[in-house]
Structure 1
Amino acid sequence: MSLDPKQMDPRIKRTLLVIRDAMIGLMHEKGFEHVTVRDITQRAEINRATFYRHYVDKYELLDKIVEDRMTEFTTAISLPSDFTFEDLSLDPETPPSSFICLFEHIAQHAMFYRLMLSDKGIPGFAGRMEQIIRESFYHRLQLAERDTLAVKTPMELVARYATSAHLGLMTYWLEAGMPYTPAFMALQLKRLHMLGPTQVVTNTSQTKSSP
């Protein structure tokens, strides 16, 4: 399917959503390899002709689900087109809107991400997320016009560290059942980026011991 969702007939859009929800639910229960088209159509309460009108097989369905979600993930983690670094607060207690948007996106599609980052997901999915996060990190550096040659730590190490922080917090949040709000998670990510884990813990300890 290559239809623009904005131009799609609402009935077709609902059908596609039902099919996709059925696939994700079944993958949670039994894993992709054990899911059949018959399982999907029964769960979605549609006939096989309707399924094949939109997808060649379950592999194309999964590919389309992943591609669309990764496109949305890329949009969520990207800075606004009119963003300038003058708008960026250096206060570690003020999370950027892009971080909040990212966690809101994860929350909206929690079942999908929880599945794909588990052992029932598809191989290489976490790597795709890491690549998108890393590209976003480098894009932010370009916008900031930072002289990466002057940085003492190799930039690839910085990028890997930042990427791991993003993915690690998102994975933990999902596995824990999302006990915190997107805004709270965005704030923790900002603090870890600016202060680092050691400084975050040190500041917390000093605060607790203060009279």
Structure 2
Amino acid sequence: MTSQDDGARVDPRVLRTRRLLQDALLALARERSLDEISVADVADRATVNRSTFYQHYTDTDTLLSDALDAQAALVGADLSTIHPSLVSGETPEVLVRYATHVADNLALYRSVLGEHGSPVAVSRLRRRIGALALEGLERHGAPPALAAIPRPIAAAAIAGSVIGVFVAWLERDPLPPPQEVADWAWSAVAGWPTQG
């Protein structure tokens, strides 16, 4: 069970505990690699017991995904707020804010999206981008290179491309500006060149 799965109003104590767990994991992830962090480590840092952890999360990957979503939402960078009607337009500001958020938490996102990263976090990001891409393809049609591919497959290809853009960006040193990677990623989503 995660906070993103709840459709009803959640007890404030539950939200507080989830926030404690999320903050604990993010703090630990800034100190060491993700594969070195156990449930016991998170529970200890959050000052809760392991059974409390399991009342809220099944594993640290799901917790990490929720923590990243919560952090992105705090800075106004929730990618689920991008509307498909924007797909053929300029790069949405929320995507620039998301790229800025990633740059501001560079070591964490290099770990999450890197070779030994979080499959749950990457899968969640891929699903979000894929859903956006599919809605955009339905609304605007496919660019010529994807026209012969079934739309769900084309949307998955776009999502993979966007994640690939972010991963390749994170591997660069020096890191290009967030606006630039947002433009690159939006170009992959929209299938048309961006203004930048």
* TM-score grouping bracket, smaller chain normalisation: 0.5 to 0.7
Distance change >3 Å, CA 183–CA 55, structure 1 → 2: same
Aligned partner of 1:114 among 110, 120, 132: 110
Distance change >3 Å, CA 78–CA 51, structure 1 → 2: same
Distance 1:101 1:77 in 2: 9
Distance change >3 Å, CA 100–CA 23, structure 1 → 2: same
What is the one-letter code of the residue matched to 1:134? G
Query: Which residue in the other structure is 1:55 paired with?
Result: 53
Distance 1:163 1:184 in 2: 18
Query: Which residue in the other structure is 2:24 paired with?
Result: 19
State whether residues 25 and 64 of structure 2, in contact with CA within 8 Å, keep that contact through their aligned partners in structure 1.
yes
CA drift at 1:25: 3.5
Aligned partner of 1:28 among 15, 29, 33: 33
Distance 1:160 1:136 in 2: 10
Query: Which residue in the other structure is 2:78 paired with?
Result: 76
The share of aligned pairs that are identical, in percent, is 13
Q: What is the number of residues matched between the two proteins?
A: 180
Distance 2:174 2:43 in 1: 28
State whether residues 112 and 121 of structure 2, in contact with CA within 8 Å, keep that contact through their aligned partners in structure 1.
yes
Distance change >3 Å, CA 194–CA 27, structure 1 → 2: same
- Whose radius of gyration is greater, 1 or 2? 1
SS state of the match for residue 194, structure 1? coil
- Superposed CA deviations along residues 12-52 of structure 1, whole A, max 9, x for unmatched, are 788445412243245517x24x74625873xx4x75xx354
Query: Which residue in the other structure is 1:194 paired with?
Result: 192
RMSD (CA atoms): 4.5
Query: Which residue in the other structure is 2:178 paired with?
Result: 182
Aligned partner of 2:155 among 151, 159, 163: 159
Please report the TM-score for the alignment, with normalisation by the length of structure 2: 0.61
Distance change >3 Å, CA 114–CA 40, structure 1 → 2: farther
- Superposed CA deviations along residues 65-113 of structure 1, whole A, max 9, x for unmatched, are 22343577797223456x855x953xxxx43324313323433443443
What is the one-letter code of the residue matched to 1:21? L
Distance 2:141 2:23 in 1: 49
Distance 2:105 2:183 in 1: 20
Query: Which residue in the other structure is 1:199 paired with?
Result: none
SS state of the match for residue 176, structure 2? coil
SS state of the match for residue 153, structure 1? coil
Structure 1 segments unaligned to the other structure (5+ residues): 197-211
Distance change >3 Å, CA 164–CA 122, structure 1 → 2: closer
